[in-house]
Amino acid sequence: MKQALEIKELNQRFGIPEIVKIVAGHGGLTRVEVTSRSAQGEMYLHGAHVTSWKPSNAEEVLFVSSQSHWNDSRPIRGGVPVCFPWFSSKSDDVNAPMHGFARTTAWQLESIVQTGDAVTVSMFIESNEATKKWWPADFRAVHRATFGPELILELEVVNTGKTSFQFEEALHSYFQVGNIETVLVKGLNGVDYIDKIDEKRTKTQNGEIAIVSETDRVYLNTAAAVDVQDPALHRQITIAKENSVSTVVWNPWIQKAKAMPDFGDTEWPQMICIETCNIGDSFVELTPGQRHQMKAIVRVSKL
């Protein structure tokens, strides 16, 4: 009843007739649904998590696991988890949530704006007692997702406190592919990477990436756009970025897929993560009042 009232209020404040509505989505979690002339999209308040983007006349671009949890204490498996303010495990606290607290926090709607055929949904979080339990910083973070002929994701962080802080961030995008074994990832030739499944050794990428086994790599000092060529679906997904210098490429392959309770055993051939990040030595530092914006711009073209 309470949630129904909240959803009614959100629709009154932010809904756009025929184009944007707010509903109870999977697991009853509050979801913004966009249906414009150029695209359809979905974004949850839980984690400010984008779970769907379907440009007109195209198939779904994002992958979401059929086994995903849909509750407010667990991250959604698929779409675009927002990892903040750390990536992977927290270096000084083994009990802290993997990939930061942002993806399991309830964000608030800030605005929904229609510009031409595209719609931008903005959600925010601010530091409070719960965030300070894990991380002492005073901050405001906004995730803006523009659903249009391109999917534009922008994560903005502002230091609202009196001391500097450092953080890591990732737009951990899961893309739907037809068959991972025929996918080629282009754009990272010659770039150094940390191979997380080979004792974090640093290696250099030679040519395009073919995924032939479990792959978990942090590409370093790269601002390059990445192309995911997918002959099975006859399409190419291009992920361009701004103010991001790390890119993660991840596919769990067979054993890891089986080990993850919220991921289907046979789903690994249907997805690849290309993550727009600033992580590890490429963390971001903000002095009081300073802001940082990281952007991922996703396009699809025929192959």
Asked if 172 is an active-site residue, the reply is yes
- Torsional class of 207: left (φ above 0), alpha (ψ -120 to 50), beta (otherwise): left
Peptide bond into 136 cis (omega under 30): no
Minimum CB separation from ligand BG6 for residue 75, in Å?
Answer: 6
Residue 258 makes contact with ligand BG6 by CB under 6 A: no
- Active-site annotation holder among 150, 172, 234, 267: 172
CA distances (Å), 80 to each of 34, 90, 152, 193, 195, in order? 16, 20, 12, 22, 22
Find the helix or strand (DSSP H, E) in which 96 lies: none
**In the window 272-301, what residues touch ligand BG6 (CB under 6 A)?**
275
Residue 23 makes contact with ligand BG6 by CB under 6 A: no
For tokens 């080629």, what's the residue? Answer: 184
Residue 99 makes contact with ligand BG6 by CB under 6 A: yes
For tokens 């995924």, what's the residue? Answer: 211
- Active-site annotation holder among 33, 154, 168, 275: 275
Residue 248 makes contact with ligand BG6 by CB under 6 A: yes
Asked if 46 is an active-site residue, the reply is no
Minimum CB separation from ligand BG6 for residue 250, in Å?
Answer: 4
Q: Could you tell me the two tokens for 195?
A: 């191979």
138 touches 125 (CB < 8 A): no
Contact letters (x/-) for ligand BG6, 61-80, by CB under 6 A?
A: --------------x-----
Binding residues (CB under 6 A) for ligand BG6: these are 75, 98-99, 172, 196, 216, 248, 250, 275
Residues identified as active-site = 172, 275
